[in-house]
């Protein structure tokens, strides 16, 4: 079963990760003339960090590395290889092992080999937005097709106005707690090891929002427990 981790517990490790990213930024700019911004995404950005209680896997972070300048828009394989080398250099003198080339991200982990336990991990997706003026249109990310050793930029449209939906949910008393409850429920039910935490976070927002909308359409008092509209019309 998953449980929430306090901000005080994970904050030092978040700061360490962002220090590593800044080293990667410097290497990518000086050695490869590539620049990017970074953004903490999904559940972690909302302080919904979880870990398995008494389990062998700690908590994880998710970041988007948002490309700004590069000469390799048409060569995602080489671009990701450059990022991998930059991370490898930046992880020296840390507890993190070598970066892993995951399907849709670069993954780093702190592993307790003696007890076969992942203490913490972080996934970095390399992306660029399809429309800088409308981020809801989605983005493209580097995908590693491992079966045939091919790399490509693939479209991903996930937000589906998630931020707007969340703002509507927050107009209800206990709205945020409903999202928290739904998120931890989805984490505990999830059996797809490839499904990232930020996807489950988006699903939790959509589920709560859809529940509210369905209740309003049915004109039934069937809102999630404790949910009360703060600005009744």
Query: What is the model's pLDDT at position 224?
Result: 60
The average pLDDT across 205-214 equals 91
Prediction pTM value: 0.83
Q: What percent of the chain has pLDDT over 70?
A: 89
Q: What is the mean predicted confidence (pLDDT) over 33-38?
A: 98
Per the model's pLDDT, the better-predicted residue between 185 and 1 turns out to be 185
Answer for the pair 56, 73: CB distance below 8 angstroms, yes or no.
Answer: no
Average pLDDT over residues 184-196: 88
> 125-153: per-residue pLDDT in tens?
999 987 665 555 678 999 999 999 899 99
Query: Who's near 189: CB < 8 A, 6+ residues apart?
Result: none
For position 34, what pLDDT does the model report? 98
Average pLDDT, the chain: 88
Q: Is the pLDDT of residue 198 over 90?
A: no
Average pLDDT over residues 1-9: 89
pLDDT of residue 199: 85
Q: What is the pLDDT of residue 158?
A: 59
- What was the pLDDT predicted at 2? 87
Q: What is the pLDDT of residue 232?
A: 38
Q: Is 63 exposed, middle or buried (0-12, 13-18, 19+ CB in 10 A)?
A: buried
Using CA atoms, how far apart are residues 104 and 179, in angstroms rounded to an integer? 26
- Residue with token string 């307790």: 112
Q: What percent of the chain has pLDDT over 90?
A: 61
Please say if the pLDDT value at position 220 is more than 70. no
In sequence order, what are the residues at sequence separation of 6 or more whose Cβ sits closer than 8 angstroms to the Cβ of residue 138?
Answer: 129, 130, 155, 156, 157, 158, 159
Please tell me the predicted confidence (pLDDT) of residue 44. Answer: 79
Give residue 231's pLDDT: 46
Domains of the chain with CATH codes? 2-156 (3.30.460.90), 162-221 (no CATH)
Q: How many CB atoms lie within 10 A of CB 30?
A: 10
């Amino acid at each position: 079963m998953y449980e929430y981790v306090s901000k005080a517990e994970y904050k030092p490790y978040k700061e360490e990760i962002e220090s590593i990213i800044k080293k990667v930024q410097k290497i990518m700019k000086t050695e490869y003339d590539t620049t990017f911004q970074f953004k903490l995404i999904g559940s972690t950005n909302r302080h919904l960090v979880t870990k398995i209680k008494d389990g062998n896997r700690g908590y994880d972070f998710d970041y988007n590395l948002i490309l700004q300048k590069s000469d390799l828009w048409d060569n995602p394989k080489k671009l990701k290889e450059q990022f991998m080398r930059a991370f490898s250099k930046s992880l020296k003198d840390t507890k993190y092992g070598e970066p892993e080339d995951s399907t849709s991200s670069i993954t780093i982990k702190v592993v307790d080999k003696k007890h076969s336990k992942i203490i913490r991990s972080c996934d970095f997706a390399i992306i660029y937005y399809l429309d800088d003026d409308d981020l809801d249109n989605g983005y493209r990310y580097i995908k590693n097709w491992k079966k045939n050793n091919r790399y490509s930029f693939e479209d991903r449209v996930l937000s589906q106005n998630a931020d707007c939906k969340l703002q509507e949910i927050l107009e209800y008393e206990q709205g945020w707690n409903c999202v928290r409850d739904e998120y931890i429920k989805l984490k505990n039910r999830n059996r797809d090891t490839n499904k990232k935490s930020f996807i489950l976070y988006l699903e939790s927002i959509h589920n709560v929002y859809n529940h509210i909308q369905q209740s309003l359409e049915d004109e039934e008092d069937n809102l999630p427990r404790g949910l009360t509209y703060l600005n009744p019309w």
